Structure 1
Amino acid sequence: MKPFRKPFALDPLFPFEIVHRDRKSSTSELPDHLHDLFELVYVHEGYGTFFIDNTFYEKRQGDLFLIPGNTIHRSFTDIEQPIVSTAVFFAPAFVRMDELGDGYVPFECFESARKNKQFKLDLPETFGRQFSSTLDEIAEELKNRRKGFRQSVRLHLQSLLLGLNRLVSAASDGNRDKSAGPKWLMDALREIDDNPGQSGWLNSLAAKACVSPHHFSRTFKKLTGMNVTDYVNAKRLVRAKELLRATDDNVESIAFACGFQSLPYFYRAFKSLTGMSPRAYRTEGSRSH
């Protein structure tokens, strides 16, 4: 099953959404999906597993996950200890600030997560309590809708990001390896992520992992919820989206560079994921700048 694009119907002047203290179940969790918004997920209680991009993480009370836009992810909750979490979704423009000369970038923690392939943060206990409390305050502002509530929500979020950015900057490299899952699968996922246009053939990946194609395919599906072909295609489409916005290459060149040998198939797959054609997606991006 291909990952789907999670839809949002947000006010352009207030591109923000929060799902506050939501108790999860195996039936309520979304399948593999992605979206353009940045996402913060804070775990209040329970136990589960998070699959983000090419890594599996344990999910426990006090954990925080940073999910950059267009990142494939999926959450699994424990039946006996269901997850209770808060998810915050926002567009980058919502927290963008004027440059004050100190080099501060409000999205630094997300950029670091994407660059280092480390999407989980273990928060210090005091900071975790403050983080949880601020999420409650944001939910309260949205509930009461007093004058200035939108400004209040943005200030709260900017404060959270400032704290996270300082925490990430101060973190040591030794705290980065929090992944779970077989090393051979992690290596395969990393290879696909680094070059989805040239990687992803089942027999080749299985040979490098020194396991049979059947075992590779079965384990891959069990841990990611996707078969190898669907996962690779999803990564190729994400790369295609990046190239459409970042380069002037024609659509055919981008499709072939991302590993699609059939242009009609690329068009169908791209529209299925984004709801628009590659050219329309590129045009929309140029208008927003």
Structure 2
Amino acid sequence: MKPVRKQFDAHPDFPFDLTYRDTKTPQLELPDHMHEWYELVYVHRGKGAFFIDRTIEDMREGDLFIIPGSTIHRAFPDKDDPVTSTALFLGPLLVEQRSLGESFSYLQCFDQSRVSRNYRLACSPALRQAFEAGLQRIEAEYSSQPPGYRHAIQSETQLLLLAVHRERGGASKHRGASAFAGPLWMRDMLLYVDRHFTEEIGLGALCRQAAVSPAHFSRVFKQLTGMNVTKFVALKRIILAKELLLESTDSVSAIAARCGFESMPHFHRVFKRIVGVTPAAYRHPSPASR
């Protein structure tokens, strides 16, 4: 039941990582996973599907996926035409900036994705050209590491995020609705789970609502998300618990109940298995773990 939590071996003052032009196959792609860093995935060529939170979208050449932190996601490369993509990972510290009297933030595109559940941007020719060139320059700096390479990478990353922000600002370019690569009944079930994951949700009730057999439901759910219903619900609950632990003053027991856990031992066990630390340690990390 434990998802992969991608680890980053980065300097605390330079929260950045890059996987450049990596060709994915179904055998080599990570299983469902999440991390607290922000992620941009640019598709150079190939095709496949991408499961992000509750959406399942096609991956095509020129697509950009904008993935906020603590978001469940998994790519499904096509076995005959696998995706070659670049993944850029960053922590907020990398793009912190003075306001300069504007409300703009380099992380706005991630906030927009989280709120709208719209993670895919079909890049215009101009944005595709900017990403191809910008990622190539970032890779050159990251691999050779000349003096000032961190500042160069920071500047290049900020320029890419600014370009995404401006591209999304055009109503004609920002998709109003998320596509769904799967049966409509599964789309409805994912939306239902997303609204009710803190309640008791059983496979039987979902199957009756979808009017399909448990075997068929489980098979399609696993094909489209890479996990079973129980695991998906647990991850959604833990993501909410992480947010509440950091953003509220509620007790751990109150947060456990609010997230749908019937007992504290169960909450502690699932939280530590997925996050790697206890809820209390996540809320108040020791100086050595920061």
Report matched runs for 1:210-221 at 5 Å. Answer: 210-221=211-222
Deviation, structure 1 residue 188:
1.8
Partner of 1:85: 85
Partner of 1:60: 60
Partner of 1:151: 151
Deviation, structure 1 residue 3:
2.1
Q: Deviations over 1:77-135 (max 9, x none)?
A: 11221211100000012101111112102111111111111110000012101111100
Rounded to whole Å, the distance in 2 between the matches of 1:118 and 1:89 is: 19
Rounded to whole Å, the distance in 2 between the matches of 1:242 and 1:156 is: 30
Partner of 1:194: 195
Partner of 1:70: 70
Contact persistence 1:53–1:71 (CA under 8 A) = yes
Tell me, which stretches of 5 or more residues in structure 1 are unaligned?
A: none
Deviating more after overlay: 208-217 vs 235-244: 208-217
Partner of 1:109: 109
1:121 and 2:134 are equivalent in the alignment: no
1:139 and 2:139 are equivalent in the alignment: yes
TM-score, normalised to structure 1, is 0.94
Change (3 A) 1:64 1:288: same
SS of 1:27's equivalent?
Answer: coil
Deviation, structure 1 residue 285:
9.6
Partner of 2:239: 238
State the percentage of identical aligned residues: 43
Partner of 1:170: 170
SS of 1:41's equivalent?
Answer: strand
1:282 and 2:283 are equivalent in the alignment: yes
Aligned length: 289
- Runs of 4 or more consecutive aligned structure 1 residues displaced over 6 Å after TM superposition: 285-289
Rounded to whole Å, the distance in 2 between the matches of 1:280 and 1:117 is: 30
Q: Residue 93 of structure 1 aligns to which amino acid in structure 2?
A: L
Rounded to whole Å, the distance in 2 between the matches of 1:10 and 1:171 is: 37
Change (3 A) 1:103 1:223: same
Deviating more after overlay: 139-148 vs 275-284: 139-148
Change (3 A) 1:160 1:199: farther
Deviating more after overlay: 5-14 vs 273-282: 5-14
Rounded to whole Å, the distance in 2 between the matches of 1:222 and 1:45 is: 23
Rounded to whole Å, the distance in 2 between the matches of 1:160 and 1:261 is: 45
Rounded to whole Å, the distance in 1 between the matches of 2:289 and 2:108 is: 22
Q: Deviations over 1:161-190 (max 9, x none)?
A: 111111112134654332211222122212
Rounded to whole Å, the distance in 1 between the matches of 2:94 and 2:189 is: 36
Partner of 1:254: 255
Rounded to whole Å, the distance in 2 between the matches of 1:187 and 1:179 is: 10
Change (3 A) 1:286 1:146: closer
